[in-house]
Amino acid sequence: MHVEWVPNRNSRPTILLRETWREGKKVKKRTLANLTDWPHEKIEALRRVLKGETLISPDKTFTIEQSLPHGHVEAILGTIKNIGLNKIISSKPKRVADLVIAMIAERLIHPSSKLATTRLWHTTTLAEELSVSDADENELYDALDWLLSNQNRIEKKLADKHLKDGCLVLYDVTSSYYEGNNCPLAQFGHDRDKKGKKIIVYGVLTDSEGCPVAVTVYPGNTGDPTTVTDQIEKLKKRFGLNHIVLVGDRGMITTTQIEKIKDVGGIGWITALRSSSIRELVEQRHIQMSLFDVSDFAEISSPDYPGERLVACYNPILADHRRKKRNELLEATEKKLNQIVNTVARRKRTPLSKAEIGKKVGAVIN
Q: What does the domain layout of the chain look like in residue ranges?
A: 2-61, 71-149, 164-272, 317-365
Confidence at residue 350, expressed as pLDDT on a 0 to 100 scale: 86
Which parts of the chain sit beneath pLDDT 70? 58-59, 291, 293-294
pLDDT score recorded for residue 62: 74
pLDDT for the residue numbered 10: 80
3-state secondary structure (DSSP) of residue 247: strand
Q: CA-to-CA distance for 244 and 349, rounded, in angstroms?
A: 73
pTM of the shown model: 0.64
Tell me, what's the pLDDT at 269? Answer: 86
Tell me what pLDDT residue 277 has: 85
> Please, which residues have CB within 8 angstroms of residue 343's CB and are 6 or more apart in sequence?
352, 360
pLDDT score at 221: 92
pLDDT score of 297: 77
Query: For 164-272, which CATH superfamily applies?
Result: Transposase Inhibitor Protein From Tn5; Chain A, domain 1 (3.90.350.10)
Residue 347: CB atoms within 10 Å: 12
Specify the pLDDT at position 331: 93
- Determine the Cα–Cα distance for residues 31 and 170; give it in Å rounded to an integer: 78
Going by C-beta distance under 8 Å and a sequence separation of 6 or more, which residues neighbour residue 325?
A: none
Other beta carbons less than 10 A from residue 254's beta carbon: 18
pLDDT, the chain, mean? 88
In contact, 165 and 242? CB cutoff 8 Å: yes
How far is the first Cα of the chain from the last one, in angstroms, to the nearest whole number?
103
Residue from 77, 212, 95, 111 nearest 146 by CA: 95
